[in-house]
Amino acid sequence: MNSFARIVVGYHGCLKPFAERVLSGGLAIKDWQPSQNPYDWLGHGIYFWEHGPARAQRWAEEKARTEGGEPAVVGALIQLGECFDLTDERNTANLAVAYDLVKSSYEAAGKQLPSNQGRTEDLKGRKLDCLVVNYYLQEVAEIEYQTVRGVFREGDRAFDGSMLYRETHVQVAVVDPTCILGVFYPI
C-alpha cells in the first residue's frame, strides 16, 4: 500500500441540479467530468476542499451568483491513492524540472509562457501552474497519479502581523474518479 492510501473527506461546491444528480445516482461517479479550465490550480481534475464544507459552500454561492441557480455542496470520501502531494518537497522539486522543460519547449516554439494572474496577490488565475502540473503528470511522471493535493494560502491575514490567512485551504484534484469512494449530502 502506498503512503497516500489514506482516506480524506472532501467537499465539492456546485449547483443544486448537479448535486442532486450525483447524490441520487443519476450521474455515476465514474462519469463525473473533471474541470479542465486553463487556470485550475492543481491541473485538471475533480476539485474538492479537504475538510472544508464552508469554503465549498461559499464557492458554490459565488458560482450561483455568476451562473444563476441554487448553490449546493457534495461531500465525498476520497482515497488519495497515488497522490502527487505538493506538501512533499520531492514533488515540488519535480515541478521545477517540469517547468524548465515546458519553458524550453515554449522558447523553442517562439511562444510566450502563460502566467498566473489576478486582481489580488492570490493570483487566482493559475494558468502557469495548471500548465506545469498537467505537463508533469502527462509527460514526466513515471507513475500514473490518481490525485493531486496542495495547500493554498489565500485571502486576507487573520489579524495584524499574522502569517495566517483567512482562506487558507487544502484542495484535492481527483484525476481518477475511482478514488471517490462515495458521496453524501453534508448536513
Q: Which pTM value belongs to this model?
A: 0.90
Q: Which of these, 69, 23, 12, lies nearest to 46 by C-alpha position?
A: 12
Q: What is the pLDDT of residues 102-140, one digit of tens each?
A: 999 999 999 999 988 877 676 667 899 999 999 999 999
Q: Is 31 helix (H, G, I), strand (E, B) or coil?
A: helix
Query: Residue 143 CB: number of other CB atoms within 10 A?
Result: 9
The C-alpha cell 453524501 sits at 184
Cα 57 to Cα 2, 74, 157: the distances in Å are 32, 9, 21
Q: What is the pLDDT of residues 84-102, one digit of tens each?
A: 999 999 999 999 999 999 9
The C-alpha cell 491513492 sits at 81
